[in-house]
Structure 1
Amino acid sequence: MWEQYDNNKLFYPYTKFKIKTIDAEPIALHWNLGNGKSLNGESVSTIYEEKKTYNVKLLITDVNGCSNTIETEVYNNEGFDILAPNAFTPNNDGNNDTFYPKAIKEFNVPCDITIKDISGKIVFNGTQDNCEWNGTYMNTGSPLPKGVYIYTVTTTDVEGKKHQFAGKVNLLR
């Protein structure tokens, strides 16, 4: 009747739900997402921050006023993660040419990203609309040397809460 269509554990805790098939034309779709968040609509998304099981309920009301509730469990065993790779190869071969946190891009999570070299010099600043680093200074085309770079990503979840992530990425040439 409905599906959790991003049920790939790599992308937890970012989860989207969408109605798959409905026998009657609904006039109201109310989701209780089990994390204190309730939304209306055919397609909704949420973030599950804690490693635990969440009970998700969908209340469907049709044009005749008939209602039905369906529910399922979502288990988040990964915690809040931005899925940042630990290396990339900006050699224009079409594979891993840029560094970006995959969950940020996939789920349009508002963010700010800063990348520094080992000495602490900022080599890239980006936002959700421009979060991919191509291995050049400020993405201007001036190639930076291979080596380890430090990233800091600050995200804002759907509830307005900020989360900060930091790590290392290897620029390979």
Structure 2
Amino acid sequence: MNPGDIINKSQTIFIYNEDSSNPSCSIESSFMVTINNSPDVDILNDVFAINEFTLPNLINGNYYTESGGNGNQLNSGDIITDSQTIFIYNVNPINTSCNNESSFTILIEEERDVTIPNFFTPNNDGNNDTWIVNANNNLIKEIYITDRFGKIVGKIKPNTIGWNGLYNGKPLPSTTYWYQIIFTNGEAKNGAFALIRN
């Protein structure tokens, strides 16, 4: 063996030296090299889930909320409801300084239960007199309504009385209008609806 050689399995290494002028004069020492291989650890792909994610069973390693086997230990079957990075950590039981780790990210998105009407009829008959967007869990920040030229003719909040088809107190004509819904997470949804006057 030579300096720089890589040892990848446990073994005894001998160091031997002899007097070049007298081969019968020699000395030897030895030392043991113990190789502890890093333990296997499961690798999971990043996850996108609606409302919650259940941690699956592991073969190699345990779940933790922090790197290095730190934080809270989680168990297979635990339900995750918040977006976070989960660490899978495994340690060699013979040599605890020999360990291995992987991690994956869980992105939890709330289910968007949003009702967007396709039309409304502001004729004061008590049916569909306003254009109302209903949403659960305060998912929507605000809603903009524009005409075909992109001019903002209304700005409303979800789960309120809605838009009555007026702009500066005057009724707008029957036609198609466009909406942009701004969600609280910064995303936007665009679409169209009809104002129908009888």
Q: Shorter chain as normaliser: what TM range?
A: 0.3 to 0.5
Q: TM-score, normalised by structure 2?
A: 0.42
Name the one with the larger helix percent: 1
> Larger relative contact order (C-alpha < 8 A, sep ≥ 6)?
1
